[in-house]
Amino acid sequence: MLNQKNFKFILASASPRRKELIGHLHIPFSILTADINEESSHTDPHHYALDIATQKGEAIIANLKEKGDSFIVSADTVVSLAGKIFGKPKDEKEALAFLSELSGKEHSVFTAVSMFLRLEDNVFQQGFVEETKVTFNNISDELMERYLATRDSLDKAGAYGIQGPSLTFISRVEGDYANVVGFPLSRFVNEAQIFFEAHLKKKDMWLNYF
C-alpha cells in the first residue's frame, strides 16, 4: 500500500510564471525541462497545445533517472484567433505582426496541462485544456512601439504577457486569468484530485502526498 507524502512533484517547465503559480500550492516541487522541437501535426489549437504539453511530459518521463513515485506536470499555452495559432514570436518583427493581427479583436488563450503519475513501473497520464477569452483595444502605433520596447513580447505566446505592460491595451478577460498567465491553477487542483483518486483508489486530498 502506498504511504502518504511519498511522491516527488516535478514541473516540466522553465516558465517563471508557471513556477510562481505552482508555488501558491505550498508544496515542494522541482523543475526539469525537456529539449523538444515543440511541433505538432494538429492544427486545432486545443489539440495542438495538448499534444505539445504531452510531448514535454513524455520527454521528462523517458529521461527520469530517479527512482520512486513521481507526479510530473507539463503545460503549453497558445493564442488563437479564428483558428490560427500564435506561439512565441521568434523576434520583434514577428511580435509586431502577431499583435497587429490581434489588435482590436477578441481571441482565445488555450493552456493545456498534461499530468503523469509514475507508480513503480506503471505510468498513467491524463490531460485537460482550459480556454480564456481576451479582448484587445486597438493598439495605436505609439503604444505598440512602447510595448515592443519593453521586450515583454518575446518569450510569450501571442507576443504578450497579461501580467505586464500589455495591460495598457487589454480591455476584457473572460475566464481564468491564471490560464492566460500560463497555468490554470484552480482547475488543475480539481483535475489532479480526480486523477489521484482514480489511480490511488483513495479520497485523500492529493496535496497531502508531497
**Which of 161-198 are b and which e, b meaning 16 or more Cβ less than 10 Å from the residue's Cβ?**
bbbeebeebeeeeeebebbbbbbbbebbeebbeebbee
**pLDDT computed for residue 66 by the predictor:** 78
pLDDT tens, position by position, 65-117:
878 899 999 999 999 999 999 999 999 999 999 999 999 999 999 999 999 99
Domain count, the chain: 1
The larger pLDDT score, comparing residue 201 to residue 134, is at 134
Give me the mean pLDDT over the 4-32 stretch. Answer: 93
pTM of the predicted model over 0.85: yes
Residue 76 is a catalytic residue: yes
pLDDT tens, position by position, 157-208:
999 999 889 999 999 999 999 999 999 999 999 999 999 999 998 889 999 9
Residue 116, domain CATH: 3.90.950.10
> The domain containing residue 50 runs over which residues?
8-209
Is 2 among the domain residues? Answer: no
Is 48 among the domain residues? Answer: yes
Catalytic residue from among 44, 51, 69, 76: 76
For residue 210, name the pLDDT band (cuts at 50, 70, 90): very high
- Residue 156 DSSP one-character state: S
Is 76 among the domain residues? Answer: yes
Is 1 among the domain residues? Answer: no
Is 163 among the domain residues? Answer: yes
**pLDDT computed for residue 68 by the predictor:** 84
Kindly tell me if the per-residue pLDDT of 125 is higher than 90.
Answer: yes
Is 153 in contact with 95 (CB distance < 8 Å)?
A: yes
Is 113 among the domain residues? Answer: yes
